[in-house]
Chain A
Amino acid sequence: MTHQEEDVLQTALNWKKDGRDVAIATVTSTWGSSPRPAGSQLVVDGSGAMVGSVSGGCIEGAVVREALDAIADGKPRLLDFGVTNEQAWEVGLACGGKLQVYVERLE
């Protein structure tokens, strides 16, 4: 049996082969109780479709917006998501962790 934990990079490759624009977001650093460890990835296509995760669903919306920008301008970016416990409710990151996410276009 092949393992069922999806390989998001395989998906990224498939999407690229299908001629779709693709961006890859990767957690590079975390501080405190961040839900997903460094190395976690989210793959986004030009229409905003996504697979994988960089948090427990907390910051994915913001990351997808940046991914679409990266697809448009081709520039990689390193994003900071630092939230206090109070802000956490607003962005949905209830843990109060901090993380950095690298977003790049697949060339």
Chain B
Amino acid sequence: MKASDLSRLVTAKTERRPIALVTDLGSHQQALFEAGNEAPSLSLSPAQQAAVAEALAANRSGEIEIEGRPLFVQARVPDPRLVVVGAVHITQALAPMAALAGYEVIVVDPRRAFATGERFPSVTLRHDWPDEALDAIRLDERSAVVTLTHDPKIDDPALDRALRSRAFYIGALGSKKTHAARLQRLTEAGFDQATLARIHGPAGLAIGAKSPAEIAISVLAQLTAARHGQSTR
């Protein structure tokens, strides 16, 4: 591997761009593959190019053999992101756990008394209102949003933005009763049933979680399932 290619692989990840390193295992030729720069030095056929693009889109590293050419694709996609709305006790457990599981974690809470560096060491904190914060963060299909405040003033604007995004997971904490009231408000705000069904509410797997850390585990478990396309309903 060329050091210059390695450098570009590392940079692409911090800039949240999908990229692949493609190695011809026969000739040992190697080149980077990304949108607009599809490993020109490898002279991939249209079919080979399509296969590499598909593997990259699916974040699937592995060997593909197209037209008798053994190609190894090392896919690198941006880290998944978790936006937690509400700098509450559960968040103090969820943020470090999610970081360990590979998420870039952002905590949003306009209440400065909650979202302090002391309570959340080394966490990215935002103090703007959730709708503004989520607009700025630009949720993509590798983003997840969990609301934990139980306060409609804070949770609802976040859910509004999450429902308009391609986020792969949306969770909202709160009892069944709280959630029913929440769905009612969001319906009045114009969201249809199919859209509202994207919200996991109450968030988390039913594992009898009681303490903040246990609730964080149940939410992170559900998030993990969603990330890998497993239904938990």
| Chain A interface residues (CB < 8 Å from chain B) | 1-5, 7, 9-10, 12-13, 16, 24, 26, 28-29, 37-39, 76, 78, 100, 102, 104-107
Contacts and interface: CB of A to CB of B under 8 A. Distances in A.
A39 B3 contact: no
A86 to B, nearest CB: 27
B99 A3 contact: yes
A38 B104 CA distance: 23
B1 A106 contact: yes
Interface centre among A10, A24, A28, A106 (most CB of B within 10 A): A28
B99 A76 contact: no
A29 B13 contact: no
Interface of B: 1-3, 6-7, 9-10, 13, 23, 25, 28, 61-63, 72, 74-76, 79, 95-96, 99-105, 120, 122-124
Contacts of A24: 1
A37 B74 CA distance: 11
A3 B25 CA distance: 32
A28 B104 contact: no
Contacts of B7: 13
